[in-house]
Amino acid sequence: MAFLQEKFLLLCLVTFCSLLFRVSSRGAVYRPPTVEPLTNHFPRIPFTQGMSTLFGASNVHLKNNGSYVDIVLDKTSGSGLVSKNRYYHGFFSASIKLPASFTSGVVLAFYMSNADLFPHNHDEIDFELLGFAKRRQWVLQTNMYGNGSVRTGREEKFYLWFDPTQEFHQYTILWNKNHIVFLVDNIPVREVIYNQAVSSVYPSKPMSLYATIWDASEWATSGGKYPVNYKYAPFVASLTNLEIVGCSMPRVNSPNVVSACLKNATALSSLDPVDGEEYARLSKQQIIGLNWVRGKHMYYSYCKDTIRYKVMPTECNVR
């Protein structure tokens, strides 16, 4: 009887622990808090409707009537997509599955930029997934530039709480006049709140959405210390569940493009799908999720880099 009781208690303990974490190839990974899935608020569209090939056409493979796409890096080229329109504010999301082989030097970027129109004064909001070198796991980096503020990198880096090579995970950018929120599987990992301290570097001009895979050996691996090993090529990233909603305008190659989004600030709310109260600030659930990610998984923030910055950027001093 005692043996059966001990066995029963052990089974209960294992079951309880399984609710707290799951095991991946990298060890125990704690289960994140539950949050409202904002990605359920907006429609999914085919890549053929929302995006066009940017480069590496032979390495862009559309599937299932354009609802899926593989973008590939091999010895010949990387590849990438760009949105057919530019957007001012909005909600931008895709589910992504990353290459599983040795990926040092490989970077998958899902980001917004207007560098093509404003090469010396551009804005940018970045998700960058960096292939593994030493730790044998992908790293998530977020960044933001506004009005050409590229000399002050605003990077934050995270270890993921899942294996991004085994299944699809959602990467989302929410951008409006109140804040910019980076979300992974609907959990906020970073929030940039608009205020006076950050106003000069807060993205303020319409941007395109990009998804690219490329050889970043020199940039992402300590000056080429761990370059891409093409013995493991091709490196295939798969994307689906594309959501692109915002105040849009056609892609016109002129910095003089002015949209109805910008002509009349009072009318913006009717054109901006994320201008409402529910998108103005994080909910209690989302704040719990944000604190969980930043407390357990963030390992670098520019606001804590006293070696790089003798004088911290102004927004780092705002509580």
Q: H or E segment at 73?
A: strand 68-73
pLDDT value at 222 more than 70: no
pLDDT value at 134 more than 80: no
155 is catalytic: no
| Catalytic annotation, pick one of 6, 128, 243, 278 | 128
How far is CA 110 from each of CA 27, 103, 128, 150, 257, rounded to the nearest angstrom?
Answer: 27, 17, 6, 18, 24
Per-domain residue ranges for the chain?
A: 35-309
36 is catalytic: no
pLDDT value at 41 more than 70: yes
d(CA 197, CA 201): 9
Average pLDDT, the chain: 87
| Catalytic annotation, pick one of 6, 124, 218, 315 | 124
pLDDT value at 187 more than 80: yes
pLDDT value at 216 more than 60: yes
How far is CA 219 from each of CA 49, 145, 254, rounded to the nearest angstrom?
Answer: 32, 17, 30
For 141-176, what is each residue's pLDDT tens digit?
A: 999 999 999 888 899 999 999 999 999 999 999 999
Q: Which amino acid is at 121?
A: N
Q: Which residue has 């105040």 as its token pair?
A: 247
Q: Which fold has domain 35-309?
A: Jelly Rolls (2.60.120)
pLDDT value at 278 more than 80: yes
